[in-house]
Structure 1
Amino acid sequence: MTKKAKTLTPTELRRVLDHIATRKHAARNRAMLLLTHWAGLRVGEVAALRCSDVVAADGAVRETLVLSAEQTKGRHSRTVFLSERVRKEIATYLRAVPSHNPERALFYTQKNPLRGFTANTLAQFFFGLYKAAGIDGASSHSGRRTFATTLASKGVGVRVLMRAMGHRNISTTIGYVDANDDMLRKAIELA
């Protein structure tokens, strides 16, 4: 059985974000990472984003992303709702980017600014970010697991969580949620 990606605590996420702030391309790297932690996007979905997916004709960051079947893991289109704080992160990143060609990858790379990251290179990149920040056991899937666990700990129902994760089966969603001590304490207080 393979070990699941680590779910980050708020302190651990802050440590990763602090590390990112000291490196090149901080706005890009922060926005990419937070799309996994705060919007539950898969690393492949982040890599597949185009400027036109995120930026409306008037230049504003969209409130929803409509991911095509080609952009998702299961080849099923899905809608992702972006919170205000996620939209602010994307807007901050976009101010640091000189060009907003609608067909360009949202997240550029030095080697290929038009196509951007592949899912595999972004997964490796995230692994390196977590490792450099001293977070053991974290991987490109840690953001999604943290997203799911955070929502569950705040009482979000499993069906809503399933849709937010883009899953088609509740059992898949349940596997993403960690039951931590704080969640158990809160549950016991309900009895």
Structure 2
Amino acid sequence: MAKAPYIEEGRLRHLLKVAAISGESPLRNVALLTTLYGTGMMLTEIARLPVRAYLNADGSIRVKSCVDARIAYNGKERPVYWSNAKVAKAIDAYLTYRIVYRHGLTPMATEYRGLDPHGPLFLTGDGDPYKLIERRTGSGGASYSCDSLSQFFRKLHLQAGIEGASAMSGRRTFAVRLANKGFDLRHINELLGHETLTATKRLIDADPVRLGLIVAGVI
């Protein structure tokens, strides 16, 4: 299976600019994209991530949180960090929008900025949770997909002129950028939640930017 394309920095900036001025709920769209590219989470994890995974009860941002085992793609908890200022700024702008339009509020208005801590961090334009489809694997286990959100991410990329990209492009771009910055493969592996270092290496290998640098210095 072909790997999801890596999105270079210039194209990613363009993608975010286009998302910020077009489509339904641009604040949510930018927040979704920055979360996708800034955390390396899987699509279904983003769809199911609760508010309390991002906010503390006092409304402050949790610098270190986790992808709970109940929503993790492989059923295993792993860390997620909200220390990236661009990601936090985009999510906060979206949460302010949610509060204004009363999407997912709770009577406990003094905690979690008035948002339901157990409800999804991201909602549809109508303020509803994204619907997940449960499928049974060959071993009898359950796997989940969120086709509506998957198609939506493809649409966001296409409207920015980026063909062939998907939600997996965010995960791969996250991994490749960390590798290019010289971070240890084991640390990248922990953030992605892969079972083996080989899986992380396979995701990173054949980075077109790195290959381009090699060719640039050939003569």
Tell me the TM-score normalised to structure 1 length: 0.88
CA separation of 1:65 and 1:183: change in aligned 2, threshold 3 A: farther
* Partner Cα distance (1:75, 1:109) in 2: 25
1:78 aligned residue: 78
Identity %: 31
Aligned positions of 1:1-191 closer than 5 A: 2-23=1-22, 24-85=24-85, 86-98=87-99, 99=105, 100-111=115-126, 113-118=127-132, 119-177=146-204, 178-182=206-210, 185=213
Alpha carbons 1:50, 1:102 under 8 Å: kept: yes
- The residue type paired with residue 96 of structure 1 is Y
Alpha-carbon spacing, 1:26–1:63, altered in 2? closer, same or farther (3 Å): same
User: Match of 2:32, SS?
Assistant: helix
SS at match of 1:70: coil
- 1:9-29 CA-partner distances (Å, limit 9, x unpaired): 111111211111112311111
- Count of aligned residue pairs for this structure pair: 186
The alpha-carbon distance between structure 1 residues 156 and 81, as it changes in their structure 2 partners (threshold 3 A), is same
Q: Structure 1, unaligned stretches of length 5 or more?
A: none
Root-mean-square deviation (CA), in Å? Answer: 2.0
Q: CA-to-partner distance for each residue in 1:101-137, whole Å, 9 max, x for gaps?
A: 21221111145x3423533221111011111111012
Q: TM-score, normalised by structure 2?
A: 0.78
Given that 1:153 and 1:183 are in contact with CA atoms closer than 8 Å, whether structure 2 keeps it comes out as no
SS for the counterpart of 2:70 is helix
> 2: CA distance between counterparts of 1:117 and 1:55?
23
Q: Do the aligned partners of 1:61 and 1:90 also contact (CA within 8 Å) in 2?
A: no
Find the residue that maps to 2:53 and give its secondary structure.
Answer: helix
- Any stretches of 5+ residues in structure 2 without a counterpart? 100-104, 106-114, 133-145
Structure 1 pair 53/17, CA: closer, same or farther in 2 (3 Å)?
A: same
- Aligned partner letter, 2:196: N
SS at match of 1:66: strand
